[in-house]
Structures are given as structure tokens and as C-alpha cells.
Amino acid sequence: MRHAHTVEQVRAAEAALMATLPDGVLMQRAAAGLAYAVVDLLGGAYGRRIVLLVGPGDNGGDALYAGVLLARRGAQVEAWLVAEQAHGVGTQALRAAGGRVLRLADGVPDTQGRHRPDVVVDGIVGIGGRPGLRSPAPDALAALDGVPLVAVDTPSGVDVDTGELDGPHVRADVTVTFGTHKVAHLVDPAAAAAGAVHLVDIGLALPPAAVTALQQEDVAALVPRPEPAAHKYTRGVVGVRAGSSRYPGAALLCVAGADTGLVGMVRYVGEDDVAARVRQTHPEVVGEGRVQAWAVGSGGGERAGEALDDALADGVPVVVDADALAHVDGPLPVPAVLTPHAGELAAMTGADRADIEARPLHHARAAAEQYDATVLLKGRHTLVARRDGEVRVTTSGTPWLATAGAGDVLTGLVGALLAAGLDPWDAASAGSWLHGAAATLAARGGPLVAGEVARALPVLLRAVVDER
């Protein structure tokens, strides 16, 4: 599992560790990890031209000491100081190793032609910095546009604890972070600016994190397995109330997401013509009866409110999607997973959609508290929030997953995990990870449609189950 700690937690852990180490050791550990990552990116250091963008904080010091190590390997290293103050000892060490130090107060150097660097290292602002960058940093970044960029700890200019953006910021190809992930590495929109994140262990002892991301081994531990004496009812029965005559495909896709073998039985309840199409495509699916969880709302149209009421009357957990979300005006009487995208959450809460997209972590947490439910806020990095403020971020998936009907498959899948015995938070976060991973498997780097995600799920699940 990836754990994303706050700035306060990291600072406290660093202070505790530094109290046990000689001065400068922690920075040297970070600098070594950074230098190795740059060498790995470039395929070597000798003869390479490297520009360090250096601010006044510890990240600037990390960049300078990494520059020392790179210069000793034969790289041509320049440090561009974006502030009046910089790490003095680090600056002196870089000069002693043969590096150059330039102050941007004298103007941004010409980087065209033969002077173009091979890589830029962003050490402008540390994790304690505020969002947005001040001059001359944006001018330096503009002059270096198109050069591969490695960020130190987090991309400068992002809000580290929220993942929010406010003003100019770095967009990195690689971010080298130390000790633990930070929230901005996982939560959009800042996560989209971090590129590939490389974690360097520097020996921090950290408390539990409120923001995490499941990995395959975590999902493998959560996926329910049948007991030796299991039968179809003990494995769980999930009911699906989705689709309509106008949107019959939503029913087929939601049932396909539920009908992956995770439960012993899938029941479908809906309009007769839609039910006939479901039975034709999924002959193992049956009609009304007792269930352990409901998946409701996908393509439900005008009857979605009625379908939600009927599901709630059974007193079992429910996953609520699409049209049924419009009928949720407060906490539900059963354990629930709500699965809105930003537009649907805006309609539910009255918040502005653009603000939800700019501050998804804030809004997912607020909605989980408002509705006393697990809220699965869909996005590039889907957030699964529960009432106590803990959030799991889904980092599996592919941009090709942004396709019609994909959410219907997810609703059925989460419903099946609920029926199989997972609590709402585990069902939503494991289901979201499986959904994204199945899309990656189905896409193979190219386009896909929602039905292919559903068909990939049993293949993926076999691999996940075999892992444990």
C-alpha cells in the first residue's frame, strides 16, 4: 500500500530522525537517491548537461548536493538560484566539484542550441511552500520548456497536503520523493503534475496516513474467497436494479460487472423487455429474491427513485449510481456507497463542478460526512472517502477508461463485493482498483469500450486470487 503523509507528519518524523544522526546525513541520503534517479533517467552522467533550479529551502540543498555527486561523475552541472538565499554549504560544494552557480537576478541564461540541457532538476520550493511560484521561477521554467524535468520531493508550486493548484507550478516527468509519498503525489490535479514518482527510503518512522492507495497485493488480500463448504447463497447474492427501456445497455453492463464469479448469484429486477435481454446475455442471472446487497441507478431514468426505495426496503447495503443519486438527499438507512462523478456530486451538493474538479479531496471528504456514506468520486485518480476522513486513491487505470458505460460496470462490481461480505469502504476501493486494472488489461495501450472492461474482470481476478 502507498501511504501519503502530511507535511506536518513528515516534518515531525524528519526532526526525530535528525536528532539521532550527525548534521547533514539526512540531506546526503536524499541527495544520493536523487542523483541516482537522474543517472537512471539519463542512462549515465558523463558529459550530460544538468541544470538545477535552486530555491532557498532544503529541497534546494538536496538538489545542490545531488549536483555535486553528478559533477563528480563527469556531468556539466549549473545551479540557477531563483532566490537571493540558497544553501550556502551546498553551493560551495557544487563549485568545488566543478559546477557553475548563476543568479537569476542577472537574467535567465540562453538555453537554445548547444547550451540546451539534458535534464532539469526542480529544487525551487520544499514541501512547506505555498501553492504558486513567484518570479523568476516561472521565467526559468519557460526557458527550459521541453527539457525533461525531475522534481525534488514534490513539483514546486503545488499544494502538498491537498493536491490543489493555485498559480504557476512545475510539471515534472519524474518526482523523487523521500521517506513517504505525499498527498500531492496521489491526489489530482497536483498528481497529474508529478509524473512518475520514485520513492527513496531515508529511514523515517511515520504514523498512519489518512490518504493511501491500494496496490495489487492489498486488493488480493481483500478479494473474498469461498470457504470449502460454500454454496451459492453463502457466497453472496447481489441484486441489480439498473437500466430502462431507454438505456437497456446500462442494465447489461451493470450485470456484467456483477457477474464475474465473485458472488454465488446475481439477480436482476427491471422492466420486462430489459430483463429478457439480460437473461439472453447472462443466462445464469435470475429474477427477484433475497439478496445481500443491491446495485442501483445505472441508466435507471425516471424509475431510478422507485428502484432505490425498493432496494432500501430490503435493509441491505447498497451502491447508488447515476440517476438514483438524484434521489439521495441525506444519509441512507443502510450502509451505502455513492458513486458520483464531479457533475453528479455538484448536482447533489450544490457545489460548483469546476471547484469539485479543482478540490476533489475536499469535496469527497465533505460528501462522505454529509451523507454518512462511502463516497467514490470518479476521476483520473478516483477517490474513495469515508466519514472519518480517510481516503483511498485509485491509481490503476488508463485514460481509455473514460468511455460510456464504464461506470455501470463499476457499480455492478462494487455491488458484488458488498454482497460477498466486504464493508462499503473496502468494496468501493477494491472495486475501483480492479475496474482500473481490468481496463488496462483490456486496452493493451489502445482504445476500449465498457463491455471489454467487464470481460477482462474474470481474467484479472484469477490473477489477483492466485497471488495470495
Distance CA 172, CA 151 (A): 6
Residue 417 half-sphere exposure, CB side, CA atoms within 13 Å? 30
In whole angstroms, what is the distance from residue 150 CA to residue 261 CA?
44
Q: Residue 299, annotated ligand binder?
A: yes
Is 250 annotated as ligand-binding? yes
Q: What's the CA gap between 184 and 318, in Å, rounded?
A: 31
232 is an annotated ligand-binding site residue: no
Is 156 annotated for ligand binding? yes
Segment (H or E) for 31 = helix 25-42
The answer to whether the annotation marks 128 as part of a ligand binding site is: yes
131 appears as a binding residue in the annotation: yes
Residue 115 assigned ligand-binding role:
no
Residue 182 labelled as part of a binding site: no
Helix ranges (H only) for 182-302 are: 183-186, 216-222, 248-258, 272-281
Q: Is 49 annotated as a binding residue?
A: no
The answer to whether the annotation marks 153 as part of a ligand binding site is yes
Closest Cα partner for 28 from 54, 55, 77, 67? 67
Which segments within 27-115 are labelled E, that is strand? 49-54, 76-81, 100-103
341 annotated as belonging to a binding site for a ligand: yes
Q: Is 130 marked within a binding site?
A: yes
In degrees to the nearest 10, what's the CA dihedral of 115, 117, 118, 119?
A: 180
Residue with cell 556539466: 76
d(CA 361, CA 379): 11
**Does 380 show up as a binding residue in the annotation?**
yes
Residue with cell 462522505: 368
297 is in an annotated binding site: no
240 close to 258: Cβ distance less than 8 angstroms: yes
Residue length, the chain?
468
Check the annotation: does 123 bind a ligand: no
Can the peptide bond before residue 189 be classed as cis, meaning omega within 30 degrees of 0? yes
Q: End-to-end distance of the chain based on CA atoms, in angstroms?
A: 15
Q: CB count, 10 Å around CB of 272?
A: 8
Could you tell me the three cell numbers for 117? 540541457
Residue 305, annotated as binding a ligand: no
What residues does 265 pair with on adjacent strands?
Answer: 237
Q: Confirm whether residue 343 is marked as ligand binding.
A: no
> Residue 301 annotated as binding?
no
Burial 359-396 (b: 16+ CB within 10 A, else e): bbbbbbbbbbbebebbbbbbbebbbbbbbeebbbbbbb
* CA angle in degrees (0–180, nearest 5) for 133-138-141: 125
Place of cell 495501450: 445
58 marked as binding residue:
yes
SS3 state at 158: strand
State how far the Cα of 295 lies from the Cα of 222, in Å rounded to an integer.
20
Count CB atoms within 10 A of the CB of residue 309: 12
Bond prior to 136 in cis (omega within 30° of 0): yes
Cell numbers that stand for 131 in this block: 501553492
The reply to whether 431 sits in an annotated binding site is no
Annotated binding site for AMP: 378-382, 407
Which residue ranges make up the annotated binding site?
A: 58-62, 122, 126-132, 153, 156, 250, 299, 341, 378-382, 407-408
Q: State the binding site for (6S)-NADPHX.
A: 58-62, 126-132, 153, 250, 299, 341, 408
**Binding-site annotation, residues for K(+):** 59, 122, 156
